Amino acid sequence: MDTFIGKLTQLTYELFGVLLPGFLCAVFVGSMWLALGPLALKWSLGLLPELRLSEIVSIDASLSSSTRIAALVLLGVACYFLGQVLNGVSRQCTGGKSPLPMTDILRFRLHRPTAQYRQELSRLFAVAAPQIVPGMASPPWDEFFRVARCLLVQNRRTSLAATYQSKYTLHRSIAIASAGACWVASLALVGALVTWCFDRSLQVNWILLLAAPFGFLISARQFARSYADNWTLFGDTIVTETYALIRAHEMGLTRENADR
């Protein structure tokens, strides 16, 4: 049972930390492709066709069940690899220090709390740390975290630490993808306006083109804040669950001695 729960935890990370961000990134690309209309064909020199919802629906209706399943599998594989790339890139996009958070976000730098956990939990950390890393009253966080994480995996069937890890990974990837999409949407809007000045018959989805930069900007801001919050909650959970595990072990030993 414990092995099954461990595998399920890993699957949850792959689903929410990798596959879902890749899928959302594909949705961002598809929405911009749809908004550009005939400009996608013109700007790509004929490589990309104009994307229309009616054509997507008609193509889907003409597919057989086996072909549709194969297409979904290929889409899932593509989203997974896209999510892996996005996850790897987003890991390098932390360390923002500007007093204006939006400036850092648009520079692909996310703010991450310097403290690994809230200071209110310092007493719990002071109790748990020496028992996790013997010989050090206040070990470095990297040493404490790695040992404590192994102990929690081995001794707890469920842990909120895995949940918060998946959430901050997901939100970090979405924040970076949204920031990139904001730049792409802004450039697409400027390009569409310039093209429209020379060709007034141009038919694009102006509502989507105008709304996309602001929508992606809001998304980047909100998910960047949520990333920072879940990063702190992850550290809080490591400290509190490790302390609770140590206390439970001590109480168990006390009860065994009492029974003797």
| pLDDT tens-digit series, residues 17-49 | 888 889 998 899 888 888 888 888 888 887 888
Sequence-ordered list of residues with C-beta below 8 angstroms from that of 186, at least 6 positions apart, any chain: 213
Give the residue, 56 or 24, on which the prediction is more confident. Answer: 24
Cα–Cα distance measured from residue 32 to residue 241, given in angstroms and rounded to the nearest whole number: 44
Residue 3, pLDDT score:
52
Report helix angle 206-259 to 20-36, nearest 10. Answer: 170
Q: Distance of CA 231 to CAs 26, 117, 237, Å?
A: 25, 9, 10
Band (249; pLDDT cuts 50, 70, 90): confident
Query: Does the pLDDT value for residue 186 go beyond 70?
Result: yes
Residue 255, pLDDT score:
37
State the residue for tokens 């932390």.
Answer: 94
